[in-house]
Structure 1
Amino acid sequence: MPDSNVTDFTNPSTFILLGIPGLEVAHVWISIPFCIMYITGILGNFTILFIVKMEPRLHGPMYYFLCMLAITDLVVSTSIVPKMLAIYWFDSREIDFSSCLIQLYFFHCFSVMESGIFVAMAFDRYVAICDPLRHSTILTSPAVAKIGLAMMLRSSMVVLPYPFLVKQWPYCRTNIIPQPYCAHIAVVNLACTDTRVSSYYGLFVVICVIGLDVIFIALSYTQILRAIFSLPTKDAQIKTFGTCISHLCAILTFYIPSLFFSLMFRFGQKVPLHFHILIANVYLLMPPVLNPIIYGVRTKQIRDRLLWLFTNKGI
């Protein structure tokens, strides 16, 4: 194989994904929990989709948004994990340039879309609690479909510049990516030119897209809490707040690890690289694994349907 550390090219034909640098000898063992998490996430999210489809009582806005969340989790994890496991199991480190860009696009696009879906779910909870009499007229099935389409178009358009910017940079230093998947900033860091446009645009996406999503969610829950505390009895307050617990847990699962990882990436220079990458990989797999569990445990209709499947179908 020709030396891939120093090469003269505008667009490399392939990138080399290192997996977890420094822990190559433990790749097989490291792959076991990731494989278990991936399979758990696949089964859990497909179970959510199946139950919502089969149970007429779940054909409502909250569960349609939950299905959208399950689909985004499936796409995000599937865009990353199969190649990751191929590296760990078969030392299949090469990925061609176009495949790298496709992986990069789908990973970031559906991650942004997941953030948007949490905003839509917060809006659903806001209307259900603050204006319950109009919930069924505001969040009709066509309205939910339009919101889902808007979230998809937003994420598609916002992330579209990523691969186009990455493709135009010259790469003359190296084509080695020191992690098991193609992320935007990881690829941009390999370019041997001024890539501030890519860096600034990535910062714009984080602040003006993800940041605004967090603000909208916070505003929704401010109004929700005001409505809850205005209820006459403690039991009514607890019961109403209980309808938001699943959504709040899913939000914390998505945003808190992301915040922690971002802070560690920027300020944890003394933290070993392999620890950075391990944390990033766990962060990617946490929402797809935990979201079905959170909603399965907290949502009575889903829990009852699961119990019925196990007891009556012998599954």
Structure 2
Amino acid sequence: MDNRVNVTFLLIDGYVELHKYRYLYFVIMSTVYILIICSNSTIVYLIWNHQNLHEPMYIFIAALLINSVLFSSVNYPKLLIDFLSQQQMISYSACLFQYFAYYALSGSEFLLLAAMSYDRYVSICKPLQYQTIMTKTNANVLLVAAWLVSACQIAVPTILSAKKKLCASTLKGIVCNSTFQTLHCVRSTVLNVYGLVVLVNLVILPTIFILFTYTRIFIIAYRSSREVRRKAAQTCLPHLIVLINFSCLLVYDVLLLRMGNEFPKIVRFIMTLQLLMYHPLFNPIIYGLKMKEIYKHLKSLFCKMP
């Protein structure tokens, strides 16, 4: 018997006690979204507005924060609409777009962190060659590549998913992430294998590269003067903290695809909210407070406010 269904809209069935707490959810998430936009945009504005921050390291930070704003803007408006709606639904095409943007921006996060680690490696380990290697053109190439490579690789499973037949129309989550693939009538071997390739290309290899470069940086810094060690700790530790934070959240997303049915509904709901809330807020806090030059301009900005 053919169980395939002609799906135009998907029912979203990942919320917990929405009928009871819808207004509380809405207030909390709208407040968080405003904080994400304001905090990330403030740091980006400071980097854009101050000439001494027009260096590759700060440009990469600005790109990372813009990436967080884009990631939030793909997910938050739909969440806020769902909180106030009587029935939580999303069109099939909108779900595919959210799926694409969710993973394309997540992948670019790792590639941007890899570009930042390379910039710090050249700055600390090859200071005399820094101006030659990290030119404005090379920095722009790394920026474009971080977004373009990720988008191109995620476009493939998105297109393949669009052609797959669905045997269910109820999404066991609140956003179209890896849970979307559980609606397929047959789990595709091609999609699974390609998913592993994408995971290696966009997550594992960049993470290995980041850890390798920072290991080299800390070894050289340990053998150098106190000033070099201070510079290494000041500029590298925030990047490592951001990497660890995002990697831990991504582990949940990978496990969700492999063990989705074994996670209670409330666990899926809470973990997804953490992924959507913590990381976009975490980045501007870390870079705003831990990067000395940014913190100096941030402090100056707020001191001037009436």
- Scaled by the length of structure 1, the TM-score of the pair is 0.89
1:297 maps to 2:292? no
**Aligned counterpart for 1:9 among listed residues 5, 10, 22:** 5
The residue that corresponds to 1:140 in the other structure is 135
Indicate conservation of the 8 Å contact 1:19/1:84, yes or no.
Answer: no
Indicate conservation of the 8 Å contact 2:179/2:260, yes or no.
Answer: no
Instruction: Give the letter aligned to residue 299 of structure 1.
Output: M
The residue that corresponds to 2:76 in the other structure is 81
Bigger mean CA offset, 139-148 vs 296-305: 296-305
Instruction: Kindly report which structure 2 residues correspond to 1:53-92, keeping only aligned pairs within 5 A, or say none.
Output: 53-92=48-87
The residue that corresponds to 1:189 in the other structure is 182
Distance 2:273 2:218 in 1: 34
The residue that corresponds to 1:3 in the other structure is none
Instruction: Give the letter aligned to residue 275 of structure 1.
Output: V
Indicate conservation of the 8 Å contact 1:17/1:179, yes or no.
Answer: yes
The residue that corresponds to 1:176 in the other structure is 170
Distance 2:90 2:261 in 1: 28
Relative to structure 1, the CA distance from residue 238 to residue 21 in structure 2 (aligned partners, 3 Å threshold; closer, same or farther) is same
Instruction: Kindly report which structure 2 residues correspond to 1:300-315, keeping only aligned pairs within 5 A, or say none.
Output: 300-314=292-306
Indicate conservation of the 8 Å contact 2:242/2:283, yes or no.
Answer: yes
Distance 1:44 1:196 in 2: 42
**Aligned counterpart for 2:192 among listed residues 191, 195, 199:** 199
Distance 1:136 1:105 in 2: 36
Cα drift, residue 222 of structure 1: 1.5
**Aligned counterpart for 2:201 among listed residues 203, 208, 219:** 208
The residue that corresponds to 2:42 in the other structure is 47
Distance 1:152 1:189 in 2: 27
The residue that corresponds to 2:218 in the other structure is 225
Indicate conservation of the 8 Å contact 2:14/2:268, yes or no.
Answer: no
Relative to structure 1, the CA distance from residue 162 to residue 94 in structure 2 (aligned partners, 3 Å threshold; closer, same or farther) is same
Indicate conservation of the 8 Å contact 1:112/1:210, yes or no.
Answer: yes
Instruction: Give the letter aligned to residue 226 of structure 1.
Output: I
Q: Secondary structure at the match of 1:181?
A: coil
Cα drift, residue 23 of structure 1: 5.3
Gaps of 5+ in 1: 1-5
Indicate conservation of the 8 Å contact 2:150/2:202, yes or no.
Answer: no
Indicate conservation of the 8 Å contact 2:72/2:280, yes or no.
Answer: yes
Aligned-pair identity in percent equals 27
Instruction: Give the letter aligned to residue 184 of structure 2.
Output: A
Distance 1:191 1:253 in 2: 31
Task: Spell out, residue by residue over 1:220-268, the C-alpha distance to the aligned partner (whole angstroms, 9 max, x if none).
Answer: 01111111111144x6424432221221221122112222554576568
Instruction: Give the letter aligned to residue 96 of structure 1.
Output: S
Q: Of Structure 1 and Structure 2, which has the larger fraction of its residues in helix?
A: 2
**Aligned counterpart for 1:159 among listed residues 138, 148, 154:** 154
Number of residue equivalences? 305
Distance 1:175 1:109 in 2: 24
Bigger mean CA offset, 19-28 vs 214-223: 19-28
Cα drift, residue 190 of structure 1: 0.7
Bigger mean CA offset, 303-312 vs 220-229: 303-312
Distance 2:180 2:262 in 1: 22
Q: Secondary structure at the match of 2:281?
A: helix
Q: Secondary structure at the match of 1:208?
A: helix
Q: Secondary structure at the match of 1:243?
A: helix
Q: Secondary structure at the match of 1:244?
A: helix
Distance 2:285 2:32 in 1: 12
Distance 1:86 1:98 in 2: 17
Indicate conservation of the 8 Å contact 1:15/1:97, yes or no.
Answer: yes
Bigger mean CA offset, 55-64 vs 238-247: 238-247
Instruction: Give the letter aligned to residue 222 of structure 1.
Output: T
Instruction: Give the letter aligned to residue 277 of structure 1.
Output: F
The residue that corresponds to 1:278 in the other structure is 270
Q: Secondary structure at the match of 2:11?
A: strand
Q: Secondary structure at the match of 1:160?
A: helix
Cα drift, residue 194 of structure 1: 4.0
Instruction: Give the letter aligned to residue 20 of structure 1.
Output: Y
Instruction: Give the letter aligned to residue 213 of structure 1.
Output: P
Distance 2:83 2:116 in 1: 36
